[in-house]
């Protein structure tokens, strides 16, 4: 093998290695993007599952003499603490009649409008908000009002 052929072979191997490295990097980026898309879809499906499960949960649902009603008991919301639900905010807002925008606690109940039952925020610009209407029951005044269950998921 001559010296010139050796350099040509070395250059061909070097170019092949560079092209192979670029291809591997492209595959890595594609896989990383796919994993992030799957993670976003998973978080969205968790939020939708929470939207369907929370209103009928015994922790929130109003019941009278073990007869469960299709309403959320607002008195139960005051002391409810959920955990291990990821980076999201779960809140219930009273929509009608409008009382203003005041977060509920034991001192201002029932003259408030927002119940925050879970709040773990991630510093991210990526967020998805899903919500459904719910019926709110106020046991102290024996009134029913209209609310909105809002789940904000941070990506």
What pLDDT does 20 receive? Answer: 93
What pLDDT does 2 receive? Answer: 66
Please give the model's pTM, rounded to 2 decimal places: 0.71
Q: Which secondary-structure segment (H or E) carries 131?
A: strand 127-138
Query: By three-state DSSP, how is residue 143 classified?
Result: strand
DSSP state of 93: E
Residue 18: phi, psi to the nearest 5?
Answer: -65, -45
User: What tens digit of pLDDT does each residue of 62-98 get?
Assistant: 877 777 778 888 888 888 878 888 888 889 898 888 7
What pLDDT does 95 receive? Answer: 87
Contact 44, 152 (CB under 8 A): no
Q: Residue 149 has which token pair?
A: 């269950």
Q: Which of 108, 110, 105, 120 is nearest to 151 (CA)?
A: 120
- For residue 132, the cross-strand partners are 149
* Average pLDDT taken over every residue of the chain: 84
pLDDT category at 4 given cuts 50, 70, 90 is low
pLDDT category at 1 given cuts 50, 70, 90 is low
Contact 149, 131 (CB under 8 A): yes
Count the helices and strands in the chain (H runs, E runs). Answer: 2, 6
Alpha helix stretches (DSSP H) within 54-100: 74-77
Alpha helix stretches (DSSP H) within the chain: 3-53, 74-77
């Amino acid at each position: 093998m001559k010296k010139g052929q050796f350099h040509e072979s070395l250059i061909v191997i070097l170019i092949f290695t560079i092209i192979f490295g670029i291809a591997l990097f492209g595959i890595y980026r594609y896989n990383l993007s796919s994993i992030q898309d799957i993670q976003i879809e998973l978080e969205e499906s968790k939020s939708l599952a929470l939207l369907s499960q929370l209103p009928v949960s015994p922790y929130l649902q109003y019941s009278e003499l073990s007869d469960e009603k299709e309403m959320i008991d607002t008195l139960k919301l005051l002391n409810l603490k959920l955990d291990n639900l990821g980076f999201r905010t779960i809140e219930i807002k009273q929509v009608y009649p409008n009382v203003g925008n005041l977060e509920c606690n034991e001192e201002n109940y029932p003259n408030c409008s927002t119940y925050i039952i879970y709040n773990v925020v991630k510093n991210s610009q990526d967020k998805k908000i899903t919500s459904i209407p719910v019926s709110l029951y106020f046991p102290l005044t024996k009134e029913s009002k209209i609310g909105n269950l809002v789940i904000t998921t941070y990506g």
